[in-house]
Amino acid sequence: MTRALDRLTRCFYKARPLWVAAVALSVTVAEAEVVNGAQLPDGARKVGENRYRAPGDFEETLKYYRTVYPAGTFSRKSIVNQPGVKAVHIVNPSGKNFEGLNIYEANEEVRIYIVPAQPSAKQPAKKAPETKPGKKTR
């Protein structure tokens, strides 16, 4: 007696196309919002110009930014650490689009401030030397 797996007949298993897995993954992974080149956590709400309220607590927000902006590349420094107030600055080493992020907790709210990039100091355009109308130049 031969088993069904030993036969050369068609089997009932059909492999699913790869696009099914890709669609399933894209549905479960939400895209984070990017403002001025800085990535914000999902659910962050705008409260002012370059200011956002984070959906989680301070530690969750810092954990999120450890994965988005690794500490080896993006240095961090504590700004304030007083009772009831915590703040950390994350430096953008390229300085492109934004200088860094300030993440702070006060009054049981976590806020994110995107420090905008300072415009580069442009040198004034050189003017051609003026000639007097009565004199000819060579």
Residues 6 or more apart in contact with residue 102 via CB below 8 angstroms: 79, 87, 88, 89, 112, 113, 115
Q: Which residues pair with 111 in a beta bridge?
A: 53, 104
Query: What string of H, E and C letters represents the secondary structure of 24-58?
Result: HHHHHCCCCEEECCEEECCCCEEEECCEEECCCCH
pLDDT digits (tens, 9 = 90+) for 67-123: 999 988 999 998 877 887 889 999 998 888 899 999 999 888 999 999 998 876 554
Mean pLDDT lowest for which of 5-14, 36-45, 115-124?
5-14
pTM reported for the whole predicted model: 0.62
pLDDT at 30 over 50: no
